[in-house]
Amino acid sequence: MKAVYPGSFDPVTYGHIDIITRVSGIVDELVVGILINNNKKPMFTMEERLEMLRESVKDLKNVKVQTFEGMTIDFARQNDAKVIIRGLRVISDYETEMQIAQTNRNIAPEIETLFLSTSLEYSFLSSTIAKEVAFYDAGVEKLVPPIVAKKFREKYNN
């Protein structure tokens, strides 16, 4: 089984890593896709996000990281993946995630969206929260991989 895990990853957090690690244990191959979204103004460039993710998952041999533009279902098809992975945190994720999953299933019925519930310790963690904690220098090391903490220091020190 091959799966894709799409997101902005601006930046990757331990919440994402938790999902990636757990999925890598149940699929043959996982392709993490960083979405190039021109409507969002990211904090980190595409190259930085790619570098941080690749470094953070380098020990997981069946995980690849790529960037993509456009619809997730096309990204899945290009990678010959039948499964889209999404992580579900608090209840507020549910509504939008259902909308996206239903829409995708309408367009591409051969592809299934699989939801993993977040591990409890990361259920309130988001990239936005990590940015806030890093901004106030309040212990972001607990929330993101070392390379991300380092990049935060570089950004905020400038």
Give me 21's structure tokens. 């690690």
Does residue 126 belong to the site contacting ligand ADP (CB under 6 A)? yes
8-state DSSP, 125: -
Residues labelled as active-site residues: 16, 40, 89, 127
DSSP letter for each residue of 36-75: --TTS--SS-HHHHHHHHHHHTTT-TTEEEEEE-S-HHHH
Measured from the CB atom, the residue of 16 and 157 that comes closer to ligand ADP is 16
Of the candidate residues 118, 131, 133, 140, the single one contacting ligand ADP (CB under 6 A): 118
Q: Distance (Å, rounded) from C-alpha 111 to C-alpha 83? A: 6
Does residue 56 belong to the site contacting ligand ADP (CB under 6 A)? no
Does residue 125 belong to the site contacting ligand ADP (CB under 6 A)? yes
What does the binding site for ligand ADP look like in residue numbers (CB under 6 A)? 7-9, 13, 15-16, 19, 86-87, 89, 93, 118, 122, 125-127
